[in-house]
Structure formats: C-alpha cells, structure tokens
Structure 1
Amino acid sequence: MRYVSWNVNGLRACVGKNFMEAFSDLDADLFCLQETKLQKGQIDIELPGYEQYWNYAEKKGYSGT
C-alpha cells in the first residue's frame, strides 16, 4: 500500500502546474493534501478511483487541511 502526504501550498496554483499528471504518476492508495488554501466552491477536482474528504479554510488565504 502506498501513502502520499503532499504540502501543495495552494491547490489552485498547483493544479496549473501539472498536479493531475503528478497525481496520476504517483499512483498512491491514499493521498493527504495539506495547505490547500481553498474555500468551499473554489475548485472542482475530479480524482477518479478516490473518495474525497475536504476540510476547507474558513478565511481566505488560510491553509485548511
């Protein structure tokens, strides 16, 4: 089983920098993304084959987990 913990330091910027390609290449069973800096509704990401659980930042610019 492969686990990946990734500090993305802002997921919206990371998605524009080949995030999905790297995500696919890593082929982990479990991904944990830190510092997404997202508020609910800011991004819609499809991650086929994965269940998603998000904890959004309550204030703009804060990290979330």
Structure 2
Amino acid sequence: MTDPKPHRHRFPMMVIGHASSLDRRFPFSSRDIQKWLGQRGTEVDHERLCNWCIQFGSLYTEELRRREP
C-alpha cells in the first residue's frame, strides 16, 4: 500500500530520522535536540521535533528492535 504522491518534508529524511532516533534512544528533551541540531547548522523548532517523534518515532523503534539480538 503506497501513496501515489510521496510526502514532501522541509528537511531531508536523514535529519528527521536522526532527530527521532535520538529522542527514542537517549533521554534527551526536544529542546536539547533542537540545540544540538542548531549547532550543526539545522534550525528546527522544538514543536516540529515533537511532531516528528510522534509521526516517525514508532517506525524507528521497530527498526531498532529488529536489529537487537
């Protein structure tokens, strides 16, 4: 079941994935992740990070569980 139109995001999926995985794997707040990404040149609002974690977090959690022995 694929969408006929892929969703377009303002940021690359690599940035979204990294931010979501940081939130799931480590005890960082969304503001900590916002500061961390800002130091590396990516300005992201903490509310957007929360939305990414809600939207994509379960996908990354499932992928991490598959990788663990």
Q: Shared fold by TM > 0.5?
A: no
Q: Which has the higher contact order (CA 8 A, sep 6+)?
A: 1
Say which structure is richer in strand: 1
Higher helix share: 2
> Which of 1 and 2 has greater Rg?
2
TM-score when scaled to structure 1? Answer: 0.31
**Normalising to structure 2: TM-score of the pair?**
0.30
